[in-house]
């Protein structure tokens, strides 16, 4: 995007500088804060975790083993080796242990694509861990193209409630830990170069369950657009965030958040959060055979 001929040391410094500027511009967190980084084993989240550590932040990694064949075991080994190599503590949880089923089992019992449950479960358990250690912020490795993909999809369908919440940082509220995306203006190519220069071994395989995901198709189209006209995606995102400042979003009615009656997790539903409703539905389907 910047088309700068940088050597190893200058690239690393430039990479760190842009992350630090994003953190400071959006007031994501400070050096005194406890930061949880959700690590998946991929280049983006691992690059973020190490960059934040190198910038002086107190970092703890969190990995949720979803139990995906030919995927989760490799990812788990990757994040454990990463933590040991760079002296970053990584907490590992197994979905089957904390929820009762693996992601594949949930998909088979509910007869729906695994992707329709994955995000909900990861958000739930990431937030639960962050709250359990009283972390100040929960960071994810979403890059510029991840953010642009979500934004483009939401604009196409005019999902106003999601457009209202799309920002590089979301404040803490009623049981939800503050969330931040320090890589919001970093490309995946840049995280790959950073990993190469820093000696980070990462899992370079797409999720075996996501081959038909609509978001992947949208992302590929945006990548082609960026290739045809470099800088387009950066302008698209920054233009959206600038535009949001001019709109009175207080006119949008935010749904009331209340604790789930089963687990206490914040929810906008009437009685139970989406994860507890999922558990109930699974039990009903298993009972029916």
Structure tokens at 120: 């909900």
What's the whole-model pTM score?
0.91
* pLDDT (average), residues 116-143: 95
pLDDT at 255 over 70: no
Angle of CA points 114, 66, 28, to nearest 5°: 95
Q: Please give the pLDDT value at position 160.
A: 81
Asked if 40 and 75 count as a contact pair (C-beta separation under 8 A), the reply is: yes
Distance of CA 88 to the CA centre of its chain: 19
Structure tokens at 125: 């358990």
Going by C-alpha positions, the residue among 206, 62, 57 that lies closest to residue 123 is 62
Instruction: Give per-residue pLDDT as tens, 168-199.
Output: 999 998 889 999 999 999 999 999 999 999 99
Structure tokens at 266: 């914040």
Find tokens 């395989």 and name the residue.
Answer: 205
What DSSP string describes the chain? -------HHHHHHHHHHHHHHHHHHTT---TTSEEEEE--SSHHHHHHHHHHHHTT-EEEEEEEE---TTTHHHHHHHHHHHHHHHT--EEEEEHHHHHSS-HHHHHHHHTS-THHHHHHHHHHHHHHHHHHTT-SEEE----HHHHHHHHHHHHHHT-HHHHHH-SSEE--BTTB--EE-TTTT--HHHHHHHHHHHT--------TT-TT-HHHHHHHHHHHHHHHSTTHHHHHHHHHHHHHTTS-GGGSPPPPPEE-TTT--EESSSSS-HHHHHHHHHHHHHHH-
Q: Please give the pLDDT value at position 252.
A: 56
Instruction: Give per-residue pLDDT as tens, 211-237.
Output: 666 777 888 889 888 889 989 999 999
Question: Looking at per-residue confidence, does 26 or 214 come out higher?
Answer: 26
- How far apart (Å, rounded) are the C-alpha atoms in residues 20 and 15? 9
Q: Please give the pLDDT value at position 256.
A: 74
- How far apart (Å, rounded) are the C-alpha atoms in residues 175 and 132? 11
Q: Please give the pLDDT value at position 116.
A: 85
Q: Please give the pLDDT value at position 115.
A: 86
List domains and CATH numbers for the chain: 8-254 (3.40.50.620), 255-289 (no CATH)
Query: What percent of the chain has a predicted confidence (pLDDT) above 70?
Result: 94
pLDDT at 65 over 70: yes
Close Cβ partners of 208 (under 8 Å, ≥ 6 residues apart): 68, 69, 70, 71
Most confident of 68-82, 207-221, 274-288: 68-82
Please give the mean pLDDT across all residues of the chain. 90
Going by C-alpha positions, the residue among 218, 169, 221, 194 that lies closest to residue 44 is 194
Residue 174 CB burial class (10 angstroms; 0-12, 13-18, ≥19): exposed
pLDDT at 147 over 60: yes
């Amino acid at each position: 995007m910047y088309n700068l001929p940088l050597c190893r040391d200058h690239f690393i410094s430039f990479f760190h500088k842009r992350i630090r500027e994003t953190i400071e511009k959006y007031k994501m967190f400070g050096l005194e804060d406890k930061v949880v980084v959700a690590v998946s084993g991929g280049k983006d989240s691992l690059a973020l975790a190490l960059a934040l550590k190198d910038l002086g932040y107190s970092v703890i990694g969190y990995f949720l083993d979803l139990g995906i064949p030919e995927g989760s075991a490799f990812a788990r080994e990757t994040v454990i080796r990463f933590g040991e190599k760079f002296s970053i503590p990584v907490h590992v949880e197994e979905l089957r242990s904390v929820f009762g089923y693996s992601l594949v089992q949930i998909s088979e019992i509910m007869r729906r694509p695994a992707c329709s449950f994955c995000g909900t479960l990861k958000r739930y358990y990431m937030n639960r861990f962050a709250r359990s250690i009283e972390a100040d912020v929960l960071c994810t490795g979403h890059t510029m193209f991840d953010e642009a993909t979500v934004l483009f999809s939401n604009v196409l369908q005019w999902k106003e409630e999601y457009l209202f919440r799309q920002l590089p940082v979301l404040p803490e509220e009623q049981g939800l830990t503050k969330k931040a995306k320090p890589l919001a203006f970093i490309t995946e190519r840049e995280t790959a170069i950073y990993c190469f220069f820093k000696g980070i071994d990462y899992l370079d395989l797409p999720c075996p369950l996501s081959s038909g995901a609509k978001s992947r198709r949208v992302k590929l189209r945006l990548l082609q657009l960026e290739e045809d006209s470099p800088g387009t995606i950066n302008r698209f995102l920054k233009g959206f965030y600038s535009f949001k400042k001019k709109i009175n979003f207080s006119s949008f009615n935010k749904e009331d958040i209340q604790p789930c009656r089963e687990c206490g997790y914040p929810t906008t539903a009437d009685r139970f959060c989406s994860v507890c409703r999922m558990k109930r539905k699974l039990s009903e389907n298993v009972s029916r055979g």
